[in-house]
Amino acid sequence: MNAQLEKGTPASVGMSAEQLELAASILAKQVEDGPITAAAIVVARHNKIVLARGFGKETHAADAPAVDADSIFLLASITKPVTGCALMILVDRGLVSLDDPVSRYIPEFQGGERAKVTVRNLLSHISGLPDMLPENRELRRAHAPLSAFVAGAAKTPLLYSPGTSFRYQSKGILLAAEIVERVTGKRLRDFEKEEIFGPLGMSHSALGMGDWKIEDTVWFEDGRNSNRADLERFGANSPYWRDMGHPWGGMHSSALDLAILLQTMLNRGEYAGKRVFSQAAVDAMTRDHNGALNAPWGLGWGLRDSLVWNFFGQLVSEKTFGHTGATGTVAWADPERGLLCVILTNKMVENGRLLRRVSNAVVAAVED
């Protein structure tokens, strides 16, 4: 399949231009009124981009650039499915098996019921690992390297017997990333650049800071922590946190780049004539792996009916997959409609209600 994203009109893909403008206006008003100071949206259907726009300014500087669809945002947890994509490349190549125990690749991951934890469990959030380590704040305050988080994840107590329950967890994604690094002998950020971002032409994407400076990216409006010293030392805008490359939340990207990744998923692994993932891998990543647990999740990608959230809105079809991020971001694709949507902002507001409202308005633009 040589399909790739190109500009198109809403009418050419059966969508209402007026309704898409309504979706855009919701973001524009939020920036104008002040809950957020920057936003970008990209909507595409049937490989045609029908809306690509930015709102606000990238930083608080008087001469800061206006935000557009190529502006670079801190994605937070949208990083997780990208880590999953990296691991699935190794599954495609026969270097990793989903039902292998994690200890096969990380030998120090032993004790208790750790022998039961499989690679698949890490990607579908049923490993028993916690979201964050008990010593998370102390590690961040000390500017600990990722290896310290890996060491903590290898020994921290499991919260439940693997495979018996669901709990959204960043530490499972961390260990998935560690498997990629140990199998390939490369840093995850380098592997993703070589195997995903480069081949797909995602030139505004990197795990960590890439070649950019923080001032080249959109400033995150982090006001949740009143301890200003901690914010400056290890908050979301600190050099430490921005370039750490944490595989559960440290990726930077633009709305247009994420649209490319989602379109690759809709194309079942191929984009512009380049195959990055097998069709089988895409099918596996975007279907439920948690069965009777009533907590549907793919491999990395969240699904519409996942219990943790519904940031895709209420109008997407059942097979919709995607992910959200705590920095106020969401990216989803609806295979039944051939539709994708990326909404990036610089602050989570109303517990995600803004993202749901805009997503609903986008789906409502589909007319055939």
* Residue 122 parent element (H or E): helix 119-123
Say yes or no to pLDDT of 225 above 60.
no
Report the distance separating Cα 100 and Cα 174, nearest Å.
Answer: 17
* Residue 329 parent element (H or E): strand 329-334
The two beta strands, 329-334 and 321-325, are antiparallel
> Cβ distance 69 to 255 under 8 Å?
yes
Say yes or no to pLDDT of 306 above 90.
no
> Cβ distance 258 to 78 under 8 Å?
yes
> Cβ distance 341 to 332 under 8 Å?
yes
**What domains lie within the chain, and their CATH numbers?**
6-81+189-363 (3.40.710.10), 82-87+97-185 (1.20.58)
Say yes or no to pLDDT of 349 above 80.
yes
108-133 core/surface letters (b: 16 or more CB in 10 A; e: else):
ebeeeebebbbbbbbbbbbbbbbebb
Residues 162-220 pLDDT 10s = 999 999 999 999 999 999 999 999 999 999 999 999 999 999 999 999 999 999 999 99
Residues 250-302 pLDDT 10s = 999 999 999 999 999 999 999 999 999 999 999 999 999 999 999 999 999 99
Which has the closest alpha carbon to 53: 24, 33, 75? 24
Sorted by sequence, the CB contacts under 8 Å of residue 146 that are 6+ apart come out as: 174, 244, 245, 246
Give the pLDDT mean for 300-315. 86
Report the distance separating Cα 116 and Cα 173, nearest Å.
Answer: 17
271-309 core/surface letters (b: 16 or more CB in 10 A; e: else):
bbeeebbbeebbebbbeebbeebebbbbbbbbbbebeee
> Cβ distance 296 to 305 under 8 Å?
yes
